[in-house]
């Protein structure tokens, strides 16, 4: 009977809810903080992975969505809408079901992973594929929520950030203090904003003695913050972070500068290398966008930017099952054998 109750109940006094707020939850949060053995060896540091793919719909978005849908319910909304590269839509669709609401999702046509599309479909979302990229979807979602009876649950909705900041609380609660460095993939830049807010709140209230340096990584083909200008036609295999004009751009710059961190880019090749390392050497299967944090840490280490002996947390944001194409692509086809132990043993290299 001691189940984790979800982020709103676990961190109620730090979130904008009241005693009468109708909490909509799937018991999100409370995700594993896993020591990363190979990454620790490679960097000479103590590296941990915050495995957000363990959330109910398989990504960190559930932390923000429990707050956004709870608030929408409290305000009497009947329908919610979001723009998404896939994970937000999967989460919105699931939480809308819990709240008895209709969900509408706008996704860039042909650019979301199959697992995420399946989630939105099976949870009964109304899906529109937009002839444009994520940034166009967000413009359209804002327009619709301004002019029609539907509430916006993207991270431009500040309660999303409130929910997502709880991941930083969990890390400090687990480690006893903030890490030296926190590493994240950056897309629309809501999550780096949320972690920075969470770390600052804990430090301000004396629950941590310090705040970490925030390191963010964008995909090279979708790196507007690194370039300092909007990317009109963003591209990357990490479709979750294929975003050319992040909504929380200024907040990301503040997190970077106030924390003494940086935001850099990683190539698709570096992302895939980290993706394979995580699965094959740490036993943690993440989606490509999530591997951008680890790719970034390895790149920084190779550049001599990582002093040994530090405590580092990398958030891996989404579950590998959402986008399994990259796991299968390029891997050898399994061989077929008859029901015969001698043959099977020989094929397995046991004999």
Q: Which of 183, 189, 208, 284 binds ligand F0G (CB under 6 A)?
A: 189
Closest CB to ligand F0G among residues 43, 59: 59
**Contact call for residue 55 and ligand F0G (CB under 6 A):** no
How many residues are given for the chain? 351
Quick one: which of 15, 39, 40 has its CA closest to 28? 15
Q: Which of 25, 31, 55, 84 binds ligand F0G (CB under 6 A)?
A: 84
Q: How far apart are CA 64 and CA 152, in angstroms?
A: 12
- CB of 307 vs ligand F0G, minimal distance in Å: 26
Q: Which of 62, 135, 270, 287 binds ligand F0G (CB under 6 A)?
A: 287
Write the burial class of residue 280 (CB in 10 Å: 0-12 exposed, 13-18 middle, 19+ buried).
exposed
- CB of 313 vs ligand F0G, minimal distance in Å: 15
Strands 213-219 and 262-266: parallel
The contact pattern for ligand F0G, residues 92-131, with x = CB under 6 A and - = no contact, is ----------------------------------------
Query: Are 191 and 51 in contact, with CB atoms under 8 Å apart?
Result: no
**Contact call for residue 166 and ligand F0G (CB under 6 A):** no
Closest CB to ligand F0G among residues 43, 91: 91
Quick one: which of 285, 314, 283 has its CA closest to 298? 314
State the number of binding residues for ligand F0G (CB under 6 A). Answer: 22
HSE toward the beta carbon, residue 66, CA cutoff 13 A: 30
Q: Which of 171, 290, 300, 314 binds ligand F0G (CB under 6 A)?
A: 290
Q: What are phi and psi of 103, to 5 degrees?
A: -115, 140
* Residues from 234 through 263 that contact ligand F0G (CB under 6 A): 240-241
Written as six digits, the tokens of 294 are 């680890």
Which H or E element spans position 33? strand 33-35
Q: What is the contact surface with ligand F0G in residues (CB under 6 A)?
A: 59, 61, 84-88, 155, 185-191, 240-241, 287, 289-290, 317-318
């Amino acid at each position: 009977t001691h189940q984790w109750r979800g982020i709103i109940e676990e961190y109620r006094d730090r979130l904008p809810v009241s005693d009468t707020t109708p909490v909509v939850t799937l018991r999100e949060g409370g995700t594993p903080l896993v020591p990363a053995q190979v990454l620790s060896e490679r960097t000479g540091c103590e590296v941990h992975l915050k495995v957000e793919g363990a959330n109910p719909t398989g990504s960190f978005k559930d932390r923000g969505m429990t707050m956004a849908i709870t608030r929408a319910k409290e305000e009497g909304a009947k329908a919610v809408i979001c723009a998404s590269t896939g994970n937000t839509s999967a989460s919105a669709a699931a939480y809308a079901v819990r709240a008895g609401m209709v969900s509408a999702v706008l996704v860039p046509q042909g650019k979301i992973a199959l697992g995420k599309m399946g989630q939105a479909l099976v949870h009964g979302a109304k899906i529109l594929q937009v002839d444009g990229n994520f940034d166009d979807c967000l413009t359209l979602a804002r327009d619709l929520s301004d002019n029609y009876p539907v509430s916006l649950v993207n991270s431009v909705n500040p309660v999303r950030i409130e929910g997502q900041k709880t991941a930083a609380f969990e890390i400090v609660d687990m480690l006893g203090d903030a890490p030296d460095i926190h590493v994240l993939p950056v897309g629309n830049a809501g999550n780096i904003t949320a972690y920075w807010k969470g770390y600052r709140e804990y430090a301000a209230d004396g629950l941590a003695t310090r705040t970490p340096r925030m390191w963010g990584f964008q995909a090279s083909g979708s790196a507007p913050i690194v370039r300092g200008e909007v990317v009109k036609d963003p591209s990357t295999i990490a479709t979750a972070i294929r975003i050319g004009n992040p909504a929380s751009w200024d907040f990301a710059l503040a997190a970077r500068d106030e924390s003494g961190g940086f935001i850099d880019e990683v190539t698709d090749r570096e992302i895939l290398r980290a993706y394979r390392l995580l699965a094959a050497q740490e036993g943690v299967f993440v989606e490509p966008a999530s591997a951008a944090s680890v790719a970034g840490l390895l790149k920084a280490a190779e550049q001599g930017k990582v002093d040994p002996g530090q405590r580092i947390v990398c958030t891996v944001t989404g579950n590998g099952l959402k986008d399994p194409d990259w796991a299968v692509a390029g891997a050898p086809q399994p061989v077929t054998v008859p029901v015969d132990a001698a043959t099977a043993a020989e094929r397995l290299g046991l004999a």
